[in-house]
């Protein structure tokens, strides 16, 4: 049985947590403000710089929601203090990435460039170094939104298994397949 839900969340200085109507948790910190609705069965208590989440019973549903809710609140606290970052790498000849503000322009080998509008809650930077693959770095406080946008960019050209060309996460390890074996 997981004990994630029982672990307390310690708050750093400069972080304010409030529990509003309908069990909506609001976390304010130096990097922004995040809101997350928590299931009505889970109670959220904020005392002396520590957040504790409690469940009413040991039903499977309550146990699952307990750990989930605690992880969501922990990610919010980490996001407003330290923030999150994801780096994508464009592997392929002629692949390129540029940005103007939050408009990302990707050249992924299709006939036209792909324009992606990044939400205003996230920041995007692109780096191109000669002899290395172009990189797109997304940063922000909201881990869910960051992962969703990174997955959307990756889905524009997933890495193919024979040459490894495509958009991949920087630390992603690709399993390459062997090509056709030559005649008999």
Looking at residue 179, what is its pLDDT? 84
Phi then psi for residue 169, to 5 deg, are -70, 150
Looking at residue 182, what is its pLDDT? 67
Looking at residue 3, what is its pLDDT? 85
What proportion of the chain, given as a percentage, has pLDDT over 90?
Answer: 87
pLDDT at 178 over 50: yes
Determine the topology of domain 84-169 in CATH: Outer Surface Protein A; domain 3 (3.90.930)
Structure tokens at 105: 């322009």
Looking at residue 2, what is its pLDDT? 62
Looking at residue 24, what is its pLDDT? 95
pLDDT at 1 over 60: no
Q: Place 165 in a pLDDT band, splitting at 50, 70 and 90.
A: very high
Choose the CATH number for 9-81 among 3.90.930.12, 3.40.50.1220, 3.40.1190.10, 3.30.930.10: 3.90.930.12
CA distance 4 to 53: 10
Phi then psi for residue 37, to 5 deg, are -75, 135
Looking at residue 184, what is its pLDDT? 61
Q: Place 135 in a pLDDT band, splitting at 50, 70 and 90.
A: very high
Beta strands per DSSP E along 92-134: 96-100, 103-107, 114-117, 122-127
- Condensed to tens digits (0 to 9), the pLDDT of residues 5-57 reads 899 999 999 999 999 989 999 999 999 999 999 999 999 999 999 999 999 99
pLDDT at 106 over 90: yes
What average pLDDT is seen over the chain?
93
Indicate the helix (H) or strand (E) that contains 133: none
Residue ranges, comma separated, of all CATH 3.90.930.12 domains in the chain are: 9-81, 84-169
What proportion of the chain, given as a percentage, has pLDDT over 70?
Answer: 97
């Amino acid at each position: 049985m997981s004990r994630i839900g029982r672990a307390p969340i310690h708050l750093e200085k400069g972080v304010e947590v409030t529990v509003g109507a309908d069990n909506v948790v609001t976390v304010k910190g130096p990097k922004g403000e995040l809101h997350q609705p928590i299931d009505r069965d889970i109670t959220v208590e904020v005392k002396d710089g520590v957040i504790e989440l409690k469940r009413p019973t040991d039903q499977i549903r309550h146990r699952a929601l307990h750990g989930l809710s605690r992880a969501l609140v922990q990610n919010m606290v980490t996001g407003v203090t330290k923030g999150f970052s994801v780096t994508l790498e464009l592997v392929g000849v002629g692949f390129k990435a540029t940005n103007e503000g939050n408009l990302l322009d990707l050249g992924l080998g299709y006939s036209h460039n792909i324009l992606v509008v990044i939400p205003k809650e996230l920041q995007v930077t692109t780096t191109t170094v000669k002899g290395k693959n172009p990189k797109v770095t997304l940063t922000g406080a909201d881990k869910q939104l960051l992962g969703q946008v990174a997955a959307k960019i990756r889905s524009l050209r997933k890495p193919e298994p024979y040459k490894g060309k495509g958009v991949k996460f920087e630390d992603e390890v690709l399993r390459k397949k062997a090509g056709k074996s030559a005649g008999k």
